[in-house]
Each structure stands twice: as C-alpha cells, then as structure tokens.
Amino acid sequence: MTKWVYLFKEGDASMRNLLGGKGANLAEMTKLGLPIPQGFIVTTEACNDYYARGRQVTDEVKAQISDALAELEKEQGKKFGDNENPLLVSIRSGARASMPGMMDTVLNLGLTDVAVEGFAARTGNPRFAYDSYRRFIQMYADVVMEVSKEKFDVVFDAVKEEKGISLDTDLSADDLKEIVKGFKEVYKKELGEDFPQDPREQLLASITAVFRSWDNPRAIYYRRMNDIPGSWGTAVNVQAMVFGNMGDTSGTGVAFTRNPSTGEALIYGEYLINAQGEDVVAGIRTPNPISHLEEDMPEVYQEFMRIAHLLEDHYKDMQDMEFTIEDRKLYILQTRSGKRTAHAALQIACDLVDEGKITKEEAIKRIDAKSLDQMLHPGFDDKVIKASTPIGSALPASPGAAAGRVYFNAEDAKKAGDRGERVILVRLETSPEDIEGMHASKGILTVRGGMTSHAAVVARGMGVACVSGCAEVGINEADKYFTLGGETIKEGDYISLDGTTGNIYLGDIPTVEAGISGNFDRIMHWADEIRTLKVRTNADTPTDAANAIKFGAEGIGLTRTEHMFFEPDRIPKIRKMILSSTAEAREAALEELIPFQKQDFKGIYEVMEGRPVTIRFLDPPLHEFVPTAKADIEALAKDMGLTYDEVKAKCDSLHEFNPMMGHRGCRLAVTYPEIAKMQTRAVMEAAIEVKNERGFNIIPEIMIPLVGEKRELKFVKDVVVETAEAVKKEMNSDIEYHVGTMIEIPRACLLANEIAEEADFFSFGTNDLTQMTFGFSRDDAGNFLDAYYENKIYESDPFARLDQDGVGQLVKMAAQKGRATKPELKLGICGEHGGDPSTVEFCHNVGLNYVSCSPFRVPIARLAAAQAVLNNK
Ligand code: PEP
Ligand code: MG
C-alpha cells in the first residue's frame, strides 16, 4: 500500500520530492530535536493522485489522514473539536521548490461552536478564542469555499461602528461573539449551508483546497516564471497551532540567518508582539527588528540565536525561518534556504566558501543563474541623484533603480507595461493576486509592510526595485492618487524609486548601467574554470560587442546584419535596395550600403580583438522594412526618382501574407545573389583591413540563414566563396574564412547530414525553429499562449525556454547527423534561448560548442554552463 501521509518524525531532509521543502525541513528539524509544533504531511504524490483521479481524494488517503490525526491528538494530548482542550491545526502548502505566498494557508482549523468554548476555557481568554474563531471562519470561507473576504469585512466594520470602536484590539469578547454570529450568517447566505461543525470535514476540505491551489492562476504563473514543472505537485502540512497572539509574552516573526539584501553575515529579521504569522508576512503592521527581542525577552532571544546558527550550520546555507513565541516559549514553524538578492547570493556563496563550509562547486550550484540579471540592472545617474531631494523614504526592500509612471493596481500596471510604458506600481500593500502587475513594473512602492512583506520578498525574487512600508504616503487607490512630502502624484505621473536606499523622488530620473561587485568576478572565475561550453554573444554593433566582452563573452555568435540598418539615416538605403526593380538599381543601392556595413564590421572586429565573430547574412522579414507611412514612401520616391504611386505599387507587390515564412533569409540571396556578394565583400575587406592594421588573428565566419536544403546553401556559398577569393586576391591576403549555416528550419534538421557537407559550422536558430516546429508565428503566439498556460497545455513560453521534448529533439538529431558527416563541425545556438539556464544545460548535454545570447545574459550563461557540468557529475 502506498504511504500517502507522514508524521514529521517519520521523515527527513532527503525526502524533499515527496514531502515538499517545508515538510522535509519540518521533519529534519524534528529529527534534530528542535522545538517544532508537531504534525503530519500529506505527500506531493497524494496531490498528483488527486489530479490524476479528476480531483478526487481517495478513501485510502482519507484513512491515512485520519490515522495521522489520531496520532497527533495522542501526541498533543488534545482532541479535535473537544469542548475542553481542542486541538487546532494550521494547513499549509509546501512544494518541492518554495513558492512564497503562491498558495493558500488556513490557520486555527478545528474551531467550532463547541471547540471555541473549550479553547476559551483552556486559555482563560474568551476574547482571544472568539477572535481566533472569527479569523478562521473568514479564512476558511475565502481559501476553501472561495467566498471573498470583503463580504465578512462589512459585518466586522458594522459591529465596530455600532460600538464606536476604531481599533480592532478594543473589541470585547462579546463583540467578537457577535461578529462570529454575523460571519456564520454570511457564510450560510453565500453558500447555502452552515459553517461546518465537524473539524474532520474542515480538515479534509482544507487539504483538498491546498491541492486545488496548486493549479490556481498565480501558482501557474509563478511556476512558469521559475521553471517549476506542474508535475511536481504540492504537499500539505498539517501542524498543531501555537499562538503568537496570546498577549504581550507572545509574538511571531520571520528571520534570515544573513541579510537577504546584502548578504552580510548577521541575523536579520523582524517580529511582532501579540500577533499571528500572517500579520508579519502581509505587512499590515510594521514590525520590530529582531535585535529588540533581546530586550523584550532575553532568554527567548538567546534560544532563537542558538537555533538560527545551528540551522545554518546544519544546512550550510542562509536560512529563512518563521517562528512563534507562545507565552515565552519559542517554536520554529519552518526553515528554508532564504530567497536573496543576486548581490547577497554572491556574497553568501563567497563567505561560505571562505568560512570553509562549502566548496566552490557547491557555491556555484547554489546561485540561481537567472538572478544575476538583477546585478546587471541599472542604478541612478549619480550626478542627477545627488542633485535631487527625495520626497520621502522608506524600507529599501529590493535593490535597483527604477523610474516610471505611477499606477495603482496590478491590472492598470500590466496594461501600461504591455503598452511599453515604464511602470511604478504604488499599493497600500501587495498581495499574490498582484503578481502580474508587479512583474510588469520597474519598481514597486508600498505604504505598509516590512522587509519580509509580500512586496519585498516577491520584488527581490523578481529583481524589481521595491521601496516598502512608506507610512507617510497618503494613498487613495480608488481615485488613483497619492500624497507624499507635500506633493500630490496622480496616475500617469513619473516618480523614481531607489530600492537600494529606500528613497523616493518626484519625476523621471535617468538610470545608468549596473555595477558589478568583486564577488561577481570571483564567482564567474570559478564558473569559467568548471564549464566546457563556450559563451558568445548576439551583438549587432561595436557598442553591444564591447559591453558583452565586459560581461565575459568569448566571441560573437550572431550579428544580425539587417539590424545594422535600423537607424533613421540607414533605413531608406536598405528600403531602396529592397524596392529596386532591376539588378543594376539594386547594385547601385548596395553600393551605398557597403561603406556602412564595412565600417560596422571593422568596428566589431576591432572590439573583438581576434575573438571569433559570426556574421549572419541579410535576413529581413520584409514587413519590418517595407515602408507603410505616406511620408516614408514619398521620401523614398524622391530619392529613387520615382513617383509616389510607383513606389507604393512596388510596396504593395511585396506584400506577403506571412512574412515570417516569406521572402527572407537565404531566399533573398538566391533571388538576388548581388546581396550576398556585397555582404561578402564588406566582411572580407573589413577583416583583412583590421587584421593588417591591428594584427589580430581574424577568421571571419559567414553564416547563411534559413537554409532548408543542401543545394540552397551551396548556391549561396558559391557566391560567397567566389567573392571572398576575389577580395583576397585584390587585397593580396591569405586570410582564412569559414562559411556555415543557421539550422532553423525543421527540414534542415532532418537533412543535417547532407547540409553538413557544405557547412563549416551550424548555429541553431531556435527562434525560427520553434516557430516552424510548433507552426505558430513568433510574432503572434503571445496573443493566445496565455490560454495555453491557463489550461496547462504548455507550462512555459517555448520562445523563452527551449521545448526540449520537441524542438530539442530536432536540435539533438541535427547535431548528431551533422557530426556524423563532419566530426569537427562546430555547433552553437544563437536563438533567444541561448541565455536561458535550462536551455544552456540542454546545449551542454547535446554537445554544442557554444551558446550565444544577448550581452546582459552572458554572465547567466557562463554560470549556467558551469552548473550544467556539475549537475551531470
Ligand atoms: C533564430 O531564428 O533563432 C535567429 C537567431 O534568427 P532571427 O531571430 O534573426 O530570425
Ligand atoms: Mg531566424
């Protein structure tokens, strides 16, 4: 029989996949003899079984839950639903990877009309008992039965008003009894049934709700952003309640064993006296720093510090702990590896190596490669910021600088982000429902909440700048304005946030490139020692190339030559070339383009100082270049000595129903070989000149795009070789050069063995390969992919994370077939996937020589390539 339920004492840290991270750590801490409120874990397999059976919990699982509960009752000396000493439990989700705030929690479960009396008698505190009961009814209705919290707030506020009370704490036990009565009426009205009086029914419904929450939209979104497979499922933790809200000798808090923003090796945390856990996380009250606890309760503080150190030493990583003090007794509710900024991650990794606690390899494995992105994000222009006076300041919750227009809810923020605006989301406090709006924002400002509030934790994880807990802000979310420092800021106005200092400024302050700390170089150096995969960059200009070199790029894997013509003074020239009706006119237009192109190539070769450079020949999807605006057509007509109507007619004749599958890539060179000639001339002349002038060992790599057939490649290659040889002769040079192809059409993968006969190298263009393998346009897929995520058809965007099952199979096959023909064939990837860590690992595993990605993602790829080696050891 499958074991679906484990008591804490039956598990340990090695059972993470089955028990979830939270459950496995609770089990481990129990083994270590720490003060953990006991409980049991319903496994991730039970969650998967629930979905496999069409959302049904089997009798077998129910029976095991019941047995575990009986065991817990025995252990605690309490009974579920008892009228003297009732057992109360919390229900929390806990997946294999931590997903903070993504799934729902129920506290105080087990309270009923009878149990609340028992609880009141036992604690001698009826006020507290009824307060717990009303919280439970509201939370249960919200999380389990999906009745909105606001329905209950109406009753709550009405009682407060009737009694003339402004603070919740002034409500008496009788007031709370009245509120409980009102809440039960709301429950009945909304659901047509009484609030359940059988705690076992409450328990089962809550466990089912946690299973169900694994598939709520915000969990699906979080998984997509963090590469967490839906097949993992979540475990459910059922844990005896302890109470931090039993008066001034109780409290609750959250602490990190090192500073999660900076990595500083000092315990860092916050707590609230007389509060329940959710109060700290939700940021409704602003908490005290942990150091205050030494004054408030010195023995508890000592005990806490002892356990914090013990846990960090045990797990050899920075821990994020939740604790509760119930009447001066400390309990640890959970521990996990703490989320941290990239800056802190590097600091902690280096410190742990220096402290002799972990090896360099372990340090490399620990760092979330994607998070390096944060370090590479902008700060403010120093001069401008020094001359600016903040209008306010609050907690520096997530580092980085951000400037943008203010929006007051997630939906508006997302819409503005989609319009391409820079957005600052301003909220009273954030909640998990805000996640998409937060993600669309450059910065987040909240009125409430500490450093461990939802906004802070989530923003840090996302690398979005965040300033939290700014109580001076007078916010009106409904009318969309806020006041601060004597200013009134309305929706659409610009503000600037410094998530590193906590300062808030009026207006749009310019930002500058990110700075990188010494730890960064150290970690990158370790990664470079380990990795075998090379990392190149996609760069179209000398500036991009120089930037990429700073980030450690070892070459250029893709220069998109059509991108060299996006600038306003150049675009008319390429349009002229595209719209030419005769070979002579085209050649004349090309003559105008050559100097630009050659100059750019020279600039790139100079910056790259002999590192490999792959130049991809023209691949302009025509719709990006053919003019549509009247003024552009008029200007072009004048320049070409034609009438407006003639140019317009030519543009119309070039119209394609599906430009992405149209007359682009090598098809252009097949119809107009003079284009390939011109580009070859520019590449070769530039390379020979820079080689002669600077002495770099340059071997140009010419790459032909969109090839699907060996003869197609051969046709273009013959033009290239003929021109290149002519240039060499003219310039009296013996320079070597390579001609290769992109592999970005499924047919090219199928026939890679033949294509390899004509190619010196392959570079996988996984943008087009994804488009053509899935059969949906890379420009339009965004319009419908959301529905695919919501319906769990796809878990991630196949244009961001390589579809290893499908597209990956083609890549693997083409690599094998290519190398079967030519064992020395050089293989790379230059689609956007080249900077995605999971794709980097895939590329390592299938034996590519290099990945190529945008300059800012080069460090991510370097780290991911090292992790790929370590993961395969
Ligand atoms: C690709 O298709 O993956 C590629 C790199 O080329 P482009 O994005 O320019 O089509
Ligand atoms: Mg392509």
Return the best residue to mutate from 566, 744, 745 for the ligand 1 pocket (most ligand atoms within 8 A of CB).
Answer: 744
* Residue 329: both structure tokens together: 């007794």
Helix (H, G, I), strand (E, B) or coil at 421: coil
d(CA 288, CA 719): 73
Question: What value does the mean pLDDT of the chain take?
Answer: 91
Q: What percentage of the chain exceeds 90 in pLDDT? A: 67
Give residue 790's pLDDT band: very low, low, confident or very high (50, 70, 90): confident
Mean pLDDT in residue range 822-843: 95
Q: Whose CA is nearest to atom 3 of ligand 1?
A: 765
Ligand with the closest atom to the CA of 616: 1
Mean pLDDT in residue range 13-34: 97
Q: What percentage of the chain exceeds 70 in pLDDT? A: 97
User: What is the distance of C-alpha 64 from the center of its chain?
Assistant: 37
- Ligand 2 centroid to 590 CA: how many Å? 23
Residue 827 in this model has a pLDDT that exceeds 90: yes
Ligand with the closest atom to the CA of 829: 1
Ligand with the closest atom to the CA of 770: 1
- Ligand 2 centroid to 351 CA: how many Å? 43
The type of residue at 612 is P
pLDDT for res 282: 57
State the first-to-last Cα distance of the chain, in angstroms, to the nearest integer.
35
* Residue 21: both structure tokens together: 């991270």
Give residue 786's pLDDT band: very low, low, confident or very high (50, 70, 90): confident
Residue 281 in this model has a pLDDT that exceeds 60: no
Residue 473 in this model has a pLDDT that exceeds 90: yes
Give residue 587's pLDDT band: very low, low, confident or very high (50, 70, 90): confident
pLDDT for res 359: 97
- Ligand 2 centroid to 560 CA: how many Å? 9
The type of residue at 48 is N
Helix (H, G, I), strand (E, B) or coil at 487: strand
Give residue 818's pLDDT band: very low, low, confident or very high (50, 70, 90): very high
Return the best residue to mutate from 745, 778, 830 for the ligand 1 pocket (most ligand atoms within 8 A of CB).
Answer: 830
Measured at the alpha carbon of residue 850, what is the angle toward residues 844 and 855, in degrees to the nearest 5? Answer: 115
Counting atoms of ligand 1 from 1, which one is nearest the CA of 830?
Answer: 5
Ligand with the closest atom to the CA of 767: 1
- Ligand 1 centroid to 557 CA: how many Å? 11
Mean pLDDT in residue range 658-675: 90
Counting atoms of ligand 1 from 1, which one is nearest the CA of 763?
Answer: 5
Q: Whose CA is nearest to atom 10 of ligand 1?
A: 768
Among the residue ranges 79-83, 417-421, 574-578, 641-645, the one predicted with the least confidence is: 574-578
Among the residue ranges 2-6, 440-444, 621-625, the one predicted with the least confidence is: 621-625
pLDDT digits (tens, 9 = 90+) for 596-633: 899 999 999 999 999 999 999 998 877 677 888 888 88
Ligand with the closest atom to the CA of 828: 1
- Ligand 1 centroid to 303 CA: how many Å? 58
Return the best residue to mutate from 563, 741, 768, 771 for the ligand 1 pocket (most ligand atoms within 8 A of CB).
Answer: 768
Residue 453 in this model has a pLDDT that exceeds 70: no
Give residue 280's pLDDT band: very low, low, confident or very high (50, 70, 90): low
d(CA 375, CA 378): 8
- Ligand 2 centroid to 852 CA: how many Å? 13
Residues near ligand 1 with C-beta < 6 Å?
Answer: 558, 560, 619, 744, 765-768, 830-831
Measured at the alpha carbon of residue 70, what is the angle toward residues 68 and 72, in degrees to the nearest 5? Answer: 70
Q: Whose CA is nearest to atom 4 of ligand 1?
A: 765
pTM of full prediction above 0.85: no
pLDDT for res 796: 86
Q: Which residues contact 660 (CB under 8 A, 6 or more apart)?
A: 621, 768, 771, 777, 778, 779
- Ligand 1 centroid to 547 CA: how many Å? 21
- Ligand 2 centroid to 800 CA: how many Å? 14
Q: Which residues contact 426 (CB under 8 A, 6 or more apart)?
A: 406, 407, 408, 444, 445, 446, 473, 475, 482, 489, 495
Q: Whose CA is nearest to atom 1 of ligand 1?
A: 765
d(CA 770, CA 664): 17
Q: Whose CA is nearest to atom 6 of ligand 1?
A: 765
Residue 517 in this model has a pLDDT that exceeds 80: no
Return the best residue to mutate from 538, 619, 741 for the ligand 1 pocket (most ligand atoms within 8 A of CB).
Answer: 619
Annotation says 738 is catalytic = no
Ligand with the closest atom to the CA of 706: 2
Annotation says 454 is catalytic = yes
Residue 695 in this model has a pLDDT that exceeds 80: yes
- Ligand 2 centroid to 856 CA: how many Å? 20
pLDDT for res 715: 98
Counting atoms of ligand 1 from 1, which one is nearest the CA of 665?
Answer: 10
Mean pLDDT in residue range 638-655: 88
Catalytic-role residue among 830, 833, 843, 853: 830
Catalytic-role residue among 377, 454, 833, 844: 454
Per-residue 3-state assignment (H helix, E strand, C coil) for 539-580? CCCHHHHHHHHHCCCCCEEEEEHHHHHCCCCCHHHHHHHHHC
Phi/psi-derived region of residue 271, left when phi > 0, alpha when psi is between -120 and 50, beta in every other case: beta
Maximum average pLDDT range among 243-247, 456-460, 796-800, 840-844:
840-844
Higher pLDDT, 717 or 371: 717
pLDDT for res 544: 84
Mean pLDDT in residue range 812-831: 97
Q: Which residues contact 310 (CB under 8 A, 6 or more apart)?
A: 32, 34
Counting atoms of ligand 1 from 1, which one is nearest the CA of 560?
Answer: 9
- Ligand 2 centroid to 706 CA: how many Å? 6
Residue 562 in this model has a pLDDT that exceeds 70: yes
Among the residue ranges 117-126, 294-303, 762-771, the one predicted with the least confidence is: 117-126
Mean pLDDT in residue range 448-464: 71
Q: Whose CA is nearest to atom 8 of ligand 1?
A: 767
Return the best residue to mutate from 615, 742, 799 for the ligand 1 pocket (most ligand atoms within 8 A of CB).
Answer: 742
Output phi, psi for 129, to 5 deg.
-65, -45
- Ligand 1 centroid to 236 CA: how many Å? 44
Q: Whose CA is nearest to atom 9 of ligand 1?
A: 560
Mean pLDDT in residue range 240-257: 92
CA-based radius of gyration for the chain = 31
pLDDT for res 513: 67
Counting atoms of ligand 1 from 1, which one is nearest the CA of 705?
Answer: 6
User: What is the distance of C-alpha 414 from the center of its chain?
Assistant: 16
Strands in 503-506's sheet, in edge-to-edge order, are 392-393, 503-506, 494-498, 401-407, 423-427, 443-446, 465-468, 395-398
- Ligand 2 centroid to 769 CA: how many Å? 8
**Long-range contact set of residues 327-330: C-beta below 8 Å, sequence gap at least 24:** 327/246, 327/247, 327/249, 327/250, 328/249, 328/250, 328/297, 328/299, 328/300, 329/35, 329/242, 329/300, 330/35, 330/300, 330/303, 330/304
Ligand with the closest atom to the CA of 707: 2
Compute CA distances 814 → 141, 271, 753, whole Å. 55, 57, 7
Counting atoms of ligand 1 from 1, which one is nearest the CA of 831?
Answer: 3
Counting atoms of ligand 1 from 1, which one is nearest the CA of 538?
Answer: 5
Would the CA dihedral through 584, 589, 592, 596 be positive or negative? negative
Return the best residue to mutate from 537, 559, 560 for the ligand 1 pocket (most ligand atoms within 8 A of CB).
Answer: 560
